[in-house]
Chain A
Amino acid sequence: MNTKDALINYCLRLADNSMIAGQRLAEWNSCGPYLEEDIALSNMALDFFGQAETMYEYASQLINNQKTADDLAFRRSEREYFNCLLAEQPNGDFAYTMMKQFLFSTYLKYMYETLSSSNDETLKGFAERSLKEVKYHFRHSSEWIIRFGNGTEESLKRAQFALDELWRFTDDLFCMNATDEELISTGITVSSDSIAAKWNLTVKEILQAAHLTIPEKFNVITGGYSGIHSEHLGHLLCEMQYLQRAYPDAKW
């Protein structure tokens, strides 16, 4: 794989991660446990849509504008999407969503931190801006995890269930493929091993404070960055891409 192709693929991965996470959070619109939380969730969804747009635009530039940012978001199929599996998992209850959000935003925090020293200026700028946003997402979700663990019996039970279900998708966050190999060799990104180490420390610390137990890894599922997804993604895309697909000649 040449550097340019790898970079395009990497931008799509970053964009898809944010787009899908944003779409899932947007599902909470008018369904939050109270109004302030509804606002917080839509705030985070907006951050994600902004991040996705920036990366789709960069990818569009890299392919000489043969496709627009909207084409990339709304006209690619499930096997052409490169987001991690965690982001596409259905929301479940509030504990499930927050657990997903916690595991994911901890990852994004360290990933953007690392990417802030990329030798690609656009990625560097993007990571620096996005880091500010995901730091807030991390704070928001980790505080909820601690509240669940120290709140009521029911909240603890729900959080533990979420962790048991979602843990299987966490290895996928750190998977590397030919894209990563090429970009590591050119200094655009670094190996995800260092990100995984930091992620592990922080996640364990918060889960411990929440009296939650990490399940044994009996069932590890990976493949998102290579376009092998769970069945859920196709349904999400059906809904998200409906208008662009149904009216291909229309401008909105």
Chain B
Amino acid sequence: MTEEEKRIQFQQRIDAGEKIEPLDWMPDDYKQTLFRQISQHAHSEIIGMQPEGNWLLRAPSLRAKKILMAKIQDEAGHGLYLYSAAETFGIDRSEMIAMLHSGKAKYSSIFNYPALTWADMGAIGWLVDGAAIVNQTMLAKCSYGPYARAMVRICKEEGFHQRQGYEIIAKMASGTPAQKEMAQDALNRWWEPSLMMFGPHDADSPHTQNSMKWKIKVESNDTLRQRFIDRTVEQAHHIGLTIPDKNLKYNKETMHWEISPINWDEFWNVVKGNGPCNHQRLNHHKKYHQEGQWVRDCARAFEEKQMKESNAVKSN
């Protein structure tokens, strides 16, 4: 079969709604797009542990501490599934980490913003996990089997994350004046970055067309973003917080909330590495990866010795 025939057959499988599995034939650009996306998603889960980790030791109640700890642990677990899904392309986790460290692989830009107050734990759960759920619910229908299955598991846990974030922010919004101020301030700072999580407008998104053709994505960036906006505006109003956008208005005809233009210069600036925490997040990851080297060496050396000993016993 020629390359072209294989491509046609592949597209027919996608169009018929079949899942593509690791051993199936797939075009190189499909492979590359997915590897890039899944490994970036894995790195995002791992780097995303840092802003929340910033408040773990200062969580204000036993309950809040347990929930935040469990949430961060879930994220580490999501990172694990996703690294495994990305490894189906024949590249192992240590290589992916090297790509992250060299800057070749990216992670979600949202984690390059600082978590300044406890209300940010609410805002991150509510807005960042809220945006992630909208995106990931769509990705659970993705054509690549290992990714779609990882997403189904992850979505279940993200629902809990989003609810706990909303609970934190709702509690603060109805709390003391200082708490209410922190809640509004967190919304002000996280609103626009969370809108940017869906990526550029459809017209400016170079990958969208192919991704939709291959059913890696089944809905466009703008469709997903609008769904998130409609949901979140109502939730903010429900707890008495104000969306930080003077032009926010409800369009009765389309039945959607309309917002001001998004500042894409800011988005690209952070993607290029110039956000408030890009340097800090990556350096943290590199530092502890390096510090753990002797532990990994020790574990490997121990395992090798054990293998040798058990082989020696067998050969006797």
Contacts and interface: CB of A to CB of B under 8 A. Distances in A.
B62 A53 contact: yes
Contacts of B49: 29-30, 38
Contact of A26 (B57, B80, B285, B296): B57
B64 interface: yes
Interface string B157-180: 000000000001001100110110
Interface stretch (B15-23, B32-40, B297-305): B297-305
Interface in A31-49: 31-39, 42-43, 45-46, 49
A39 B80 contact: yes
A73 B56 CA distance: 15
A150 B60 contact: no
B171 to A, nearest CB: 7
B118 A42 contact: no
B244 interface: no
A69 B294 CA distance: 40
Interface stretch (B71-79, B132-140, B209-217, B268-276): B71-79
B126 to A, nearest CB: 16
Interface in A226-252: 239-240, 242-244, 247, 249-252
Interface in A88-107: 93-94
Contacts of B59: 243
Interface centre among A27, A50, A52, A242 (most CB of B within 10 A): A242
Contact of A147 (B64, B73, B83, B302): B302
A42 B80 CA distance: 15
A193 to B, nearest CB: 33
B145 interface: no
Contacts of B64: 252
A56 interface: yes
Contact of B58 (A31, A243, A250): A243
A205 interface: no
A30 B176 CA distance: 32
Contact of A249 (B168, B176, B288): B176
B295 A33 contact: yes
A33 B176 contact: no
Given A31-B288, A38-B76, A42-B76, A155 B62 contact: no
A247 B305 contact: no
A130 to B, nearest CB: 15
B118 A252 contact: yes
A242 B58 contact: yes
Contacts of B65: 26, 49
Contact of B175 (A32, A34, A37, A250): A250
A251 B302 contact: no
A152 B298 contact: yes
A249 B59 CA distance: 16
A165 interface: no
Given A93-B291, A251-B171, A34 B296 contact: yes
Contacts of A148: 298
A187 interface: no
B58 A26 contact: no
A246 B46 CA distance: 31
B50 interface: yes
A104 B168 CA distance: 34
Contact of A243 (B77, B80, B118, B305): B118
A27 B57 contact: yes
Contact of A42 (B50, B61, B73, B297): B73
Contact of B62 (A33, A42, A73, A247): A73
26 contacts: A26-B56, A26-B69, A29-B49, A29-B69, A30-B49, A30-B53, A35-B80, A36-B80, A38-B76, A39-B76, A42-B73, A45-B69, A49-B62, A49-B65, A50-B66, A70-B61, A93-B291, A147-B302, A150-B302, A151-B297, A155-B297, A158-B294, A243-B59, A244-B60, A252-B61, A252-B171
Given A35-B83, A49-B66, A53-B63, 4 more contacts: A26-B56, A26-B69, A29-B72, A39-B77
